[in-house]
Amino acid sequence: MNSDQAANLRRIAGKQNKCRYLSVSSGKGGVGKTTFAVCLASELSKLGRKVLLFDADLGLANVDVLLRIPPGANIRDYLAGDAALKDIAVKTSLGFYLFPASSGALELAELSEEEFDKIRTILKELESGYDYIIFDTGAGINANVHRFTRLADKMILITLPEPAAISDAYAFLKTAVRQYEVNRAYLVFNRVEEEVSSLRVFENLKRVVKRFLGTDLLLLGMLREDGMVKRSARGGDPAAVFKGDSVFTESVRRIAAGI
Ligand SMILES: Nc1ncnc2c1ncn2[C@@H]1O[C@H](COP(=O)(O)OP(=O)(O)OP(=O)(O)O)[C@@H](O)[C@H]1O
Ligand SMILES: [Mg+2]
């Protein structure tokens, strides 16, 4: 028996914890990736899963800012050899762990393939400790974003139910399909005010994606416009919103249960 067969047998026997990678991306910026990724990490933790939220917006990281976590060692310190891996992941008040990145670091925004290999190594070292690693990527179609989405078991795209955001979501998927195989992707509509028309928009997009890209697009969920989320990001305590029962957290809870 070779090692792959042995690993498969352990998996079938349920004795091996297989960490799943989820990526959260979008074409257009500011559509709610970070808000959703944090809430999803929080809801999966509430279900008893061990979750690491990896701030994959390497050069413009802001999960720590959203969660009001004081600056500490981050991925930049690790790559520079100034910090050990065990000193970087921090436990958040929402139960999951955060692997913070750096804000304003141009060298992280434009990593070479060799430098990204170090990140793959980091992930391999981290994955035995977690059930899920979630990548909160930056917006758009740059190389870093696609390197992370390519690693994911589930590619989650966030969009608003608006033509510009939907067209960017399609463009994102198109650039992905040109570089690597994407048999299936999952869509989340955020800031939805009217579900019936968003559903119609989804059905059209799904058809176009299947026809022109050959990818199955599945609707993971719709998240409502939520004044509590917006107000908390502007000065309150977002963690308090994610701990409680807002319209937004309830929708993300359903998604987490499905995952
Ligand atoms: N469902 C919602 N209801 C109300 N406000 C929301 C909702 N989702 C996100 N927002 C607000 O939209 C803004 C952008 O959200 P967020 O930072 O999560 O987007 P992003 O896609 O991660 O942005 P970037 O592309 O810059 O990384 C924030 O102020 C957030 O509070
Ligand atoms: Mg973000």
Tens-place pLDDT, residues 29-65: 999 999 999 999 999 999 999 999 999 998 787 888 8
Å from CA of 228 to ligand 1 middle = 12
Ligand minimally distant from the alpha carbon of residue 26: 1
Question: If you take atom 18 of ligand 1, which residue's CA is the nearest one?
Answer: 32
**Residue 137 · residue 62 · CB < 8 Å:** no
Higher pLDDT, 237 or 166: 166
| Whole-number pLDDT of residue 15 | 42
Residue 111 phi/psi, 5° resolution? -80, 145
Going from the C-alpha of 259 to that of each of 201, 221, 245, the distances in angstroms are 23, 11, 19
pTM of the entire predicted model? 0.92
| Whole-number pLDDT of residue 3 | 43
Beta bridge partners of 154: 22
Q: Give me the chain's average pLDDT, please.
A: 89
CA distance linking residue 189 with residue 166, whole number of Å:
9
CA distance linking residue 45 with residue 91, whole number of Å:
11
- For a pLDDT cut of 90, what percent of the chain falls above it? 64
| Whole-number pLDDT of residue 2 | 45
Going from the C-alpha of 96 to that of each of 30, 92, 132, 236, 243, the distances in angstroms are 23, 6, 10, 20, 12
Instruction: Provide the CATH topology of domain 18-258.
Output: Rossmann fold (3.40.50)
CA distance linking residue 259 with residue 247, whole number of Å:
19
| Whole-number pLDDT of residue 4 | 46
Instruction: Please determine, for residue 9, whether its predicted confidence score (pLDDT) is greater than 60.
Output: no
Å from CA of 107 to ligand 1 middle = 25
For ligand 1, residues with CB inside 6 Å are 26, 29-35, 57, 138-139, 190-191, 223, 225-226, 229-230, 233, 248
Question: Where are the domains positioned within the chain?
Answer: 18-258
Segment 160-164 mean pLDDT: 92
Which of 191, 186, 183 lies closest to 169, judged by CA?
Answer: 186
Residue 160 phi/psi, 5° resolution? -95, 155
How do residues 170-227 score in pLDDT, each as one tens digit?
999 999 999 999 999 999 999 999 888 999 999 999 999 999 999 999 999 999 999 9
Q: Which atom of ligand 1 is nearest to the CA of 233?
A: 31
CA distance linking residue 183 with residue 213, whole number of Å:
9
